[in-house]
Every structure is written in C-alpha cells, then in structure tokens.
Amino acid sequence: MRPRMLLRYTVTRLLDVSVVVAEPRTLYRACRSESAGGQLINHLPQTSFREQVFDASAVNLHTRIDGSARQVIVFVHGLGGGGYATWRDMPRMMFEGTHGSPMDVAIFDYRSGLRAWKRRGANLIAQISRLKTTLQSLIDDYGYSEIYIAAHSLGGIITEAAIQKLFHGLNKKSVTALAAVILFASPRAGSGWATFPLIREFWWLKRFSKPVTEAEEYFSTYIEGRASTEADLNRFFLPHYACIASNDSFVSKFSAQLGVPSNQCLPLEGTHKSVVKPDRDDHPQVRWLQKVIGDTDTLRSYVRARVDQAAKKNPSVIVSEFRPGVHGSDWEDIYHSIRGELSNESISVDDKQSHPGIPVDIVITIRPAEVVLESKSPARDPIMNVYAEYVSRKGELFVGICAVGELWERAESLIISDWVPAGVERGFYVKGALNDSGVYELITKWMQSVIRRNLHMQGGSRINRILDLPPDPYEIPEGKPL
C-alpha cells in the first residue's frame, strides 16, 4: 500500500469516519436558494422531506409549506461527516414525526477531516462563528421560539463553542430560544485517539484540549444543564443530554457524559457511527430524541413561569437591541459592557434576546464612516429600516445611529441630509464618533436617556439618584433630534 494511501486509511480507521461524496447535482431542488440573495440559510419549504444539495450557505432548512412550526432541530455532524450522510434517516423521521410531533429540520454542513484534507483540516473557529450566526438567524429571521441541537462527535464541541458566543452578554436569568443540546458520542473531555496533530481538528479533539476545557468551564459556570423543575434561574436554562455508544472505540464513556446528569444519558448498543444511524426496524435514537423534546418542552413552560414570577420582584427592565452589521464585533463588546454598567438592583438593561417577543425600547446601529460614504452604501437600507420602525412605533422607540471613523463628520452629514427625511421628532439621533471612546460615550448617553424616559413616572428625580447620572443632555430645551 502506498504511503499516502496508508496514511489516509489510518486516519479513516482512527477516527471511524467515512469519506463523504458530495450529493449528485441531480437531486431534486424544492425551491430557489435564498443564499443567493444574501441569506445565511437555504430555506426549503416542503410537503415531504427531501435531501437537497447544499449551496454556499451550507445550511439547509426544511420547513412546512405554511411555515407554521415554531420548533426546529439543527443537526451538526462530526469529523469527516456529511450533513445528511452522518444521520441516515433521522432528519426525515424528525420532520415527519415518526415517533412524536413533526418539526422543522435544519442541516448544518461543514468540511472537515478527509473532506478538508488539502487544507490540513477545517478552520473550526470559522465554523463556530458560522453556526452561531445560523442559530441567530433561526431566531431573528425565522422566528423559532424553541431550537434543539443534535450534535455528533466533533459537532458537539463546535456546538458548545457556538452557544458560548451566542450567549455572550445575555441576561443570565434567561429561558432563551435554545431549548436543549443532545450530544451523540461527543468527546466533552476530548479523545485519546487525537494524539498526533495530523489535521487541525486534532488540536481540538485531544484530551482536555484548551477549547474543550474552556467549554466545560463555561457550561459548568453559566449553563443550567439539568432537566429539573429545580433549575437554577441564575443560569441559562439549557438541558444537556448525551447518547453513549457501548462499543465506541474513540470516545470513552467518561468523556461522552462528562457534566451530563446520568438520568439524561442514553446508553445504546452500537459504535461511534451507528448511534446516529437508525436502521430500518429499530429507532431507539429517534424515540429517545422525541421524548427528550417532549419532556423539555413541558419543563421549559414550568421554568418560564418561575422566571416570570421572579421577574415580578426584579428591577424595572429596559430592552435594548444592537445592530452593528458585519463590522461590529468590537463595538458589540462595548455595548454589552455599558448594559452591565447601567444595570443595578433597581434597573436592568437587557438585550432583546433575553426577552423574545417584547418590543425593544432602544435600537443602536453603528457603521464605519467609510462604509456609509460608499457609492450605493450597504449601510443605507439597514438605517432606513430602523427609521421605518421608529415611525411605526410612533415615538415609543429610541434610535441611536452612529458613524465611526476619521470621516465621521461627512458620514453624519450624509445620513442627516440625504437619507433621513426632514422633520424627525425627538428620540431619533444620528451622531458621529472618531473612535471606540466616542462610541462608548454615545451609547452610554443614549441608554441613560432611555432609562430616564421610561422610568420618569416611576420615581422622578429618584431615578437620577439610583443611577448616579448627570443631567440628561437630551432633556434640555435646546436639545434637538439628529
């Protein structure tokens, strides 16, 4: 056997993965891909489940024609796997409700292992960011109130890292749209087989690697993984379940169920691969998955009631939303930092993800000044959309728009003179900032104004004493919009 063939054979056997061949182009296409229009998900309304070729988004969302479902399950495969190939008939069974209620299905695909051999493996940081964005889109763009994630092997590590990014800055006392994580033979403590760095994924999969350790620390600190009515409301409520293969040569029982309560684990006869492949006559994985979803759905209603009850004793809440576009990760950290600084025992400034379905009090939009000044600027439509929301809310929504950079004066002037109609009332502000320090000052000022406006009738000047804030610059007589 040639050295290259021997190495390929060794890696395949070592990881117990299959070489995945792309689905043939002749597969039926139910509808035109939305990703061509800039969407992050390939939306496929269907009357019956049909596997589809992945487009550039590498995420296929199978929904009912009427789009009525509020539950979706996301399948994330493992090292060297394929979006559909890894799971055999499980996505179809979940879509059709073979052992329970039918639900929408999203298939997340990424190239790794032998599929990314020429690049020495996958760029997992990029895939984690892509999965985080996919989950956010399912919430914001498709309106799912309950998202379940089924992840196999390496997919579990990617999933938990993406959740950590998604939850960054959220109110910890939250029942979020993420409902549960169901892990199948996932190495939560790493794998002893990932010893030699043949591919980049091995740095993640090796025993107690830095990513694995950081994920475990985060989940043990901030995530309530118990499926219990006594859930800790000071943590994100996100039950974790684990399916453990009896003959798994690559992930030990200890690693597969680390941090998962024993009563939330399913020991199953099979190998590392077979636990995610229901056969024709027996579907224990699917029956268990459907039961987990049913039990979690009931439990979430109970926990949500506890959260609502506790909220009656909590401080007044200001709901904010941050829209930074594709360039705003640094500013997002500033935004969350300010929310924390302005929150105390009397007032809580929460991101909208902590309160799905509740109208926001303030929307903050930030764009680089040079992007605003581009011909046919991609910033114009998002800003005009915010303006339309402001008008529809009839003054109930506070809007802050900021252009950042050395050209901020020109960008500010363009937005005010050419984009926004004249005669905008109070509560809609367009300002520029030279740098991050200026962004910090503006966001702080805008949030202070909203806090005063919303709580003015609940204590008057007492609000200033609670917050220890200077006078509101937007309340002075000469204060003007824009």
The answer to whether residues 39 and 82 belong to one domain is yes
Structural domain including 353 reads: 315-467
So what's the pLDDT on residue 199?
65
Q: What is the CA radius of gyration of the chain?
A: 25
The answer to whether residues 288 and 343 belong to one domain is no
pLDDT at 444 over 80: yes
So what's the pLDDT on residue 120?
67
Residue 425, in any domain of the structure: yes
Report phi then psi at 371, rounded to 5: -70, -40
Residue 472, in any domain of the structure: no
Please report which confidence band the pLDDT of residue 409 belongs to, taking 50, 70 and 90 as the band edges. very high
The answer to whether residues 218 and 322 belong to one domain is no
Residue pair 438/466 in contact (Cβ under 8 Å)? The answer is no
Of residues 200 and 391, the one with the higher pLDDT is 391
Please report which confidence band the pLDDT of residue 474 belongs to, taking 50, 70 and 90 as the band edges. very low
pLDDT tens-digit map of 135-167? 999 999 999 999 999 999 999 999 999 999 898
pLDDT tens-digit map of 71-88? 999 999 988 889 999 999
Q: From CA 25, how far away is CA 54, in angstroms rounded?
A: 10
The answer to whether residues 182 and 76 belong to one domain is yes
pLDDT at 480 over 60: no
pLDDT tens-digit map of 280-301? 778 999 999 999 999 999 999 8
pLDDT at 327 over 50: yes
Q: From CA 297, how far away is CA 299, in angstroms rounded?
A: 5
- Token pair, residue 204, equals 């993640």
Question: Which residues face 149 on adjacent strands?
Answer: 74, 181
Last residue of a domain, one of 273, 305, 337: 305
Average pLDDT over residues 367-378: 92
So what's the pLDDT on residue 201?
64
- Packing angle, helices 210-222 and 154-167, rounded to 10: 50
Please report which confidence band the pLDDT of residue 317 belongs to, taking 50, 70 and 90 as the band edges. confident
3-state secondary structure of 473: coil
Last residue of a domain, one of 305, 340, 368: 305
* Max mean pLDDT range (166-170, 320-324, 418-422): 320-324
Average pLDDT over residues 404-413: 94
So what's the pLDDT on residue 9?
37
- Closest of 318, 356, 358, 372 to residue 340, by C-alpha: 318
So what's the pLDDT on residue 333?
87
- Token pair, residue 19, equals 């070489």
Please report which confidence band the pLDDT of residue 16 belongs to, taking 50, 70 and 90 as the band edges. very low
So what's the pLDDT on residue 29?
31
Mean pLDDT of the chain: 81
Residue 213, in any domain of the structure: yes
pLDDT at 194 over 70: no
Residue 286, in any domain of the structure: yes
Of residues 96 and 422, the one with the higher pLDDT is 96
Q: From CA 267, how far away is CA 272, in angstroms rounded?
A: 12
pLDDT tens-digit map of 98-115? 999 999 999 999 988 777
Q: From CA 429, how far away is CA 437, in angstroms rounded?
A: 18
DSSP state of 319: E
So what's the pLDDT on residue 112?
80
CATH number of the domain enclosing 19: 3.40.50.1820
Residue 310, in any domain of the structure: no
pLDDT at 360 over 60: yes
pLDDT at 413 over 80: yes
Segment among 89-93, 237-241, 243-247, 346-350 with least mean pLDDT? 346-350
pLDDT tens-digit map of 338-350? 998 998 767 889 9
Strand-strand pairing, 178-184 and 223-224? unpaired
Residue 419, in any domain of the structure: yes
Sequence-separated (6 or more) residues with CB below 8 Å from residue 215: 157, 160, 161, 164, 188
The answer to whether residues 209 and 343 belong to one domain is no
The answer to whether residues 26 and 160 belong to one domain is yes
pLDDT tens-digit map of 33-66? 333 334 689 999 999 999 999 999 999 999 999 8
Q: From CA 1, how far away is CA 316, in angstroms rounded?
A: 70
Sequence-separated (6 or more) residues with CB below 8 Å from residue 264: 225, 226, 227, 239, 240, 241, 242
The answer to whether residues 249 and 287 belong to one domain is yes
So what's the pLDDT on residue 121?
64
Residue 47, in any domain of the structure: yes
So what's the pLDDT on residue 237?
93
CATH number of the domain enclosing 417: 3.40.50
pLDDT at 307 over 90: no
Last residue of a domain, one of 305, 331, 346: 305
88 half-sphere exposure, CB direction, 13 A CA radius: 13
Average pLDDT over residues 248-262: 87
The answer to whether residues 328 and 267 belong to one domain is no
Cα 410 to Cα 112, 327, 373, distances in angstroms: 45, 19, 8
Percent of the chain with pLDDT over 70: 77
So what's the pLDDT on residue 73?
98
Residue pair 102/191 in contact (Cβ under 8 Å)? The answer is no
Please report which confidence band the pLDDT of residue 174 belongs to, taking 50, 70 and 90 as the band edges. confident
Residue 474, in any domain of the structure: no
The answer to whether residues 36 and 141 belong to one domain is yes
Domain count, the chain: 2
The answer to whether residues 188 and 326 belong to one domain is no
So what's the pLDDT on residue 421?
80
| Residue 15 CB-density burial (10 A; 0-12 exposed, 13-18 middle, 19+ buried) | buried
Q: From CA 379, how far away is CA 241, in angstroms rounded?
A: 42
The answer to whether residues 144 and 268 belong to one domain is yes
Please report which confidence band the pLDDT of residue 31 belongs to, taking 50, 70 and 90 as the band edges. very low
So what's the pLDDT on residue 311?
62
Would you list the DSSP string of 97-166? TTTS---EEEEE----GGGGGGGTS--HHHHHHHHHHHHHHHHHTT--SEEEEEEETHHHHHHHHHHHHH
The answer to whether residues 141 and 234 belong to one domain is yes
So what's the pLDDT on residue 457?
37
Sequence-separated (6 or more) residues with CB below 8 Å from residue 69: 63, 102, 103, 104, 144
So what's the pLDDT on residue 23?
33
